[in-house]
Amino acid sequence: MNAQVHPSSVVSPAARLGDDVVVGPFCVVEGDAVLGVRTVLRSHVVVGPFTEIGEDNEVYPQATLGLAPQDTKYRGSPTLLRIGARNVIREGCTLHRGTEGGGGVTAIGDDNLFMAGAHVAHDCRVGSRNVFANNATLAGHVDVGDDCTLGAFTAVHQFCRVGDHAFTGGFTVVTMDLLPYMRTSGSRDTRSYGPNTLGLQRKGFPPEVVESLKRAHRLLFRSGLGIEEALAQAEAEQGNVAAVAYLIRFIREAERGVHRG
């Protein structure tokens, strides 16, 4: 094992450290934790037990990963936190393990950026290439897709879903599912304001796909049609566009409803 551990840090003998891992000053790595190759804990990082961190992650001071969930029903079972590769986890972030009743695993994908103070609660599933701005917060059992941006201080209620490429403004309160591709904002009267046009363009979405999403959004939420009729019409007119088909499927599968325009 070719890992560098600062003498002020405490690493459990049961922990497994991959090659070229760096554990900086005043860190704690508890039993059964796994740090993948080239992962760096800068300083003052706590990694709890039963935490699996993949390769090439970078974790900044005061972050805590894999500690017990903040759930009063939790009774100490060896639940898990799994983190993929190449994530950047900034100062003061908290990512908690799962619970027995929620499947036992909190799962994080690859290439995510968690800015300072971001929080991922128990039993959440977060995909890849997402950006959590400062103090963005997920309650328990939230599912986040890929390529999403949650603005600063966004708070997502438990059991909500966040669709791929969703975007929220700062201080958004999310109590229903967040539509994929759309801009959603609001502290109480939270609404969807149509596709995140600039963001989708930057990610390489063709103009015709963005225009199809705009038309679908107008039809679904501003045509005056009932939601089932609007979904059927959108599917008939543009269901051959993959992004629109995903949007329609996402709405139909929503158990908590969606934040509408």
Residue positions annotated with a catalytic role: 122-123, 140
Q: Which residues contact 217 (CB under 8 A, 6 or more apart)?
A: 182, 192, 194, 195, 261
Please, where are the H alpha helices in 131-206? 197-202
For residues 17 and 35, is the Cβ–Cβ distance under 8 A? yes
For residues 100 and 116, is the Cβ–Cβ distance under 8 A? no
* Residue given tokens 């109590």 in the structure block: 175
Beta bridge partners of 182: 195
Pairing of strands 46-47, 28-29: parallel
